[in-house]
Amino acid sequence: LAEATLAGGCCPGASRNRFAYNEAGQVRIRAGLPIYECNSRCRCGAECPNRVVQRGIRYDLCIFRTGDGRGWGVRTLQRIRKNSFVMEYGGEIITSEEAERRGQVYDRQGATYLFDLDYVEDVYTVDAAHYGNISHFVNHSCDPNLQVYNVFIENLDQRLPRIALFATRPIRAGEELTFDYNMHVDPVDAESTRMDSNFGLVGGPRGGSPRARGRIECKCGAASCRKFLF
Does 220 appear as a known binding residue? Answer: yes
- List residues with catalytic annotation: 89, 181
Q: Which of 124-128, 210-214, 223-227 has the lowest mean pLDDT?
A: 210-214
Which residue ranges make up each domain of the chain? Answer: 9-88+133-185+214-229, 91-130
Residue 135 near residue 181 (C-beta atoms within 8 A) = no
Residue 89's pLDDT is 95
- pLDDT tens by residue, 3-30: 555 555 556 555 566 789 998 999 999 9
User: Is pLDDT at 134 greater than 80 in this prediction?
Assistant: yes
- pLDDT tens by residue, 172-218: 999 999 999 877 655 444 444 444 333 334 434 333 333 444 567 78
User: Virtual CA dihedral for 3, 8, 11, 12, nearest 10 degrees?
Assistant: -30
pLDDT mean across residues, the chain: 81
Domain 9-88+133-185+214-229 has CATH 2.170.270.10: yes
Does 62 appear as a known binding residue? Answer: no
Q: Which of 49-53, 78-82, 98-102, 212-216 has the lowest mean pLDDT?
A: 212-216
Cβ-based neighbours of 114, under 8 Å, separated by 6 or more:
99, 102, 103, 106, 125, 126, 127, 128, 129, 201, 202, 203, 209, 210
- pLDDT tens by residue, 83-104: 999 999 999 999 999 999 998 8
Does 70 appear as a known binding residue? Answer: yes
Does 82 appear as a known binding residue? Answer: no
Residue 165 near residue 88 (C-beta atoms within 8 A) = yes
Residues of the chain above pLDDT 90, percent:
45
DSSP 65: E
